[in-house]
Each structure stands twice: as structure tokens, then as C-alpha cells.
Homo-oligomer: A and B are copies of this chain.
Amino acid sequence: MDMAIYSTGDRVQVAQKNPVAKTYIGVVSKDSTSKVLMLRLDNGYSLGVKLGKGMSINVIGKQELKKSVKVNAKQDKNMPKISIVSTGGTISSSIDYKTGAVSPITKPEELLAKIPELTKIVYVTNVAQPFAVFSEDMGPKEWQKLAKEVASELNKGNEGVIVTHGTDTLHYTAAALSFMLTNLSKPVAVVGGQRSSDRGSFDGALNLICGAHFAKSNVAEVAVVMHGTTEDNFCLVNRGTKVRKLHSSRRDAFRPVNEMPIGRMWKDGTFEVLNKDYKKRSTGKVIADVDFESKVALLKFYPGADPDLLKYFVKKGYKGIIIEAAGLGQVATNPIDKNKSWLPAIKEATKKKVFIGFTSQAIYGRVDPFVYSNARLLKEAGAVFLEDMLSETALVKLGWVLAHSKNHTEAEDLMLRNIAGEISHKIEPRGFLY
């Protein structure tokens, strides 16, 4: 096989025989190496094909450069004003097929040229980009910058803000904004896309359209606004503290946990409310209260896990740890091998004023220290059972709470107080596998 037979930008048909016979058609991207052929498929996905024996590659055309379609992206200043804050990631980038280079969209006109429908919904006053990182590279510092930027845009007189974000850690960021934006009086839509914006199948378009409708809505919450199904019909509006990416690649990957979505936002702007329990739009300045204790960790328990791991975090000066426990909030407390009991390490940690919070790796449901006697031992050792809070939300909340409380008692009180919809008093059964 000769690398020279095709080059970047060629449209090729690849037929492989192993491990199964398959044919792919796509455009060669410049990321290709001598071992892996990177294709951009027609559905917008990227695909890496391992080059190997028994494979045939035929050039079947040249990638047609997209015609610069002249769109009527003229904005109407009488439409509700919103602003977009972009953090980087697929949704806010444009790819040059000639070179494969990814370039960020930084002007309203660029975005509106791609999604002219937006001009019929809102007036985009600004596209701000405080930083550009992939979502897996986000961290507390980026959450802080982002919260400040969003608050600033909201306080400039915009009706709402759309945050564009890579999808992988989008739910952590949505939770962070939920706690950091206090006195939130306007909607904040967090949207992502799994396919790049220069594609016909660009899923970010629907998400941005729904996000724009949401940004002028009556809901004063941070919400994740993403595809509700694999169709381009509506987005789910899920509360920022009660949502999780539950599929690595589907467009409808973001699902509510333990509650119904706030609603469905249809493409035409119809807002079908499914859960009336949301904060309504009001007036007043939004505050970015971004103090955050970054020495917090999330630790998933598993059978046979060594409790020394907990000691490691304590030694490293961590101030709080969320233990993603089994079932109703269980870790080993009475194993046959006594060294595997987590009870002594938990006692030691809480004695040193390290906050130990329990969530469930079952994802849905609530932790409860009162069903089994061994969980009561954990509670007596100082572990705090965090109701039906998602592990990811609990981690983010803990960092925020520890920077906002004077002592352990106050921290416990704040962790168990419902601040941004993160604790459901009653779990909605329809929210299971919704």
C-alpha cells in the first residue's frame, strides 16, 4: 500500500477485510499518519482506520470546498439580546478541509453565517471567548473565568447567555456555573456539539437554536440544552446540577438523573414544560461568587479497594473527598481481610477535618445511611450521605462549599442544603432511565 496514492482533502473509499469486511467513504484529513488514515465521514464524524494488510484505498474524488453561501445574517436589533460565551471545543470551531486546521469562531457574524436561523430568534450582541480548551482540559480555574464572563455578559443587559462547551465534561461545568452564579436572574444555556460546525449534520446547530430560545425564556437557571433524541426535533432542557453525559457519542447523550427534564425546547421555540419546579426570571445583578477550594477529590469505591488511597489524599492536604460508594452508600466495613475496611481511614480523615461525602455509583437513586447497620457506622464515623446528588455535582459543590464555609459543621450544613436544585426531596420515578 502506497501512502502517496492519496493526499489530504481527497475523497476516498477504503475497503478493509479484517477484523470484519467493511467499507468507508470519507475525506482524508491531515491528521493521518502512516499507520492510521483519518477520515471525515459524511455524517460529520471523524474516524481513524488502522492501515493494514488486505486493505484497498481508492481516491474517488476531491473534497469540494464549501461554497461560501451568502446568507442573510443581518441581525435585527429589536430581537431579544443574548450573548454567547465560547470555551472551545467542536461546537465553536470551524474546520478548514484543505488543511484540517481548526479555527475558533469569534465573531457573531461567523456563527450567524453558519446558523442564520438564529437571527430570527435573538440578537447576538457578542461572542466572547475567555479561553479555548477542550473540555477534558477544563478545571476549577476555567470554571471561575467562565462564571465571571457569563455574569458580566448577563449584567450588560443581555436577556440570557449561551455557553458553548466540549461535551465530555460539560456537566461538571454546568454544575460549577450553577453554584458560582449566585442571584441568577436570567437563563444560562450550556450547549455542546459532537460534530463540527461546517457539517450539514452539525448537531450543534439545533443545540444553539434551542439554546437561543432558552436564553430568552422565563427560566432563571443554568441548564444543559442538548438533543433530546437522535432526531433534529427538540432539545432537552436539563438542570445543570441534575444532568449527566450517559453515552460517549450519541447526540442525545445528556440525560436527567432523579428528576424529569425542566422541559423540551422544540426547534420552533415551543417550550414544553415537564417539571414546573424551576426558578423564574427576575431582575437584579448576577454575582459571580467563584471562590473554590481545589483540593477536593472524587474517589470511586470498588470491591477490594485499598483504603490507603483515602490516606493518600489526606496526606496530600486534600480538604474534601467525595466517595462514589456502592448502592445505598456502602464501602467495605467488615471484610474478611480487616485491612480492607474503610472505616478506620474514614474516621482518621474526618478527625483531621477532611470532609467525607458519600454518593452512589448506581447513579440513579439516593444514598441512605439508615437501611443497613454498616452504613450507620460510616455515618457515625463522620461521613456525610449526600442524598440523591450526582457524584460529579457533589465534587463541584464540595469545592465551592469548602471555600464558603468557616468550619466542618457549616460545610456539612451547606452540602445538605439544596442550593441549585442538586438535591431532590422526592425522586421522580419517571426520571429513571429517561
Contacts and interface: CB of A to CB of B under 8 A. Distances in A.
A296 to B, nearest CB: 8
B253 A376 contact: no
A167 B167 CA distance: 32
A34 B248 CA distance: 48
Interface stretch (A219-227, A276-284, A360-368): A360-368
A211 B367 CA distance: 28
Nearest to A330: B136
Given A46-B371, A248-B362, A369-B48, A136 B337 contact: no
Interface string A285-320: 000000000100111111111101100100010000
Contact of A392 (B302, B312, B433): B302
A125 interface: no
A134 interface: yes
A198 B305 CA distance: 33
B136 A255 contact: no
A392 B302 CA distance: 8
B433 A373 contact: no
A246 B168 contact: no
A412 to B, nearest CB: 14
A181 interface: no
Interface in A319-348: 324-337, 340
Interface stretch (A7-15, A65-73, A138-146): A138-146
A212 to B, nearest CB: 25
A330 B301 CA distance: 21
A335 B139 contact: yes
B332 A364 contact: no
Given A169-B326, A294-B304, A328-B168, A137 B335 contact: yes
Contacts of A253: 362, 364-365
A246 B362 contact: yes
A3 B331 CA distance: 31
Interface in A395-434: 395, 425, 432-434
A152 B330 CA distance: 31
B362 A245 contact: yes
A417 B299 CA distance: 29
Interface in A43-64: 45-48
A46 B365 contact: no
A351 interface: no
A247 interface: yes
A297 to B, nearest CB: 7
Contact of A300 (B300, B333, B368): B300
A250 interface: yes
B302 A370 contact: no
Contact of A333 (B136, B246, B302, B305): B136
A36 interface: yes
A246 B361 CA distance: 8
A240 to B, nearest CB: 14
A231 interface: no
Residue in A328, A330, A374 with the greatest tally of chain B CB atoms within 10 Å: A330
5 contacts: A48-B376, A135-B330, A136-B327, A245-B326, A247-B432
Question: Which 5 residue pairs spanning A and B have beta carbons closest together?
Answer: A48-B370, A248-B365, A168-B327, A139-B304, A136-B330
Interface of A: 19-20, 31, 36, 38, 45-48, 131, 133-143, 167-169, 172-173, 245-250, 253, 255, 294, 297-306, 308-309, 312, 316, 324-337, 340, 360, 362-374, 376, 392, 395, 425, 432-434
Given A168-B330, A246-B363, A253-B364, 18 more contacts: A20-B425, A31-B373, A46-B370, A135-B330, A136-B330, A136-B374, A139-B337, A139-B340, A140-B304, A172-B302, A246-B362, A246-B433, A247-B432, A248-B366, A248-B367, A250-B365, A297-B305, A308-B316
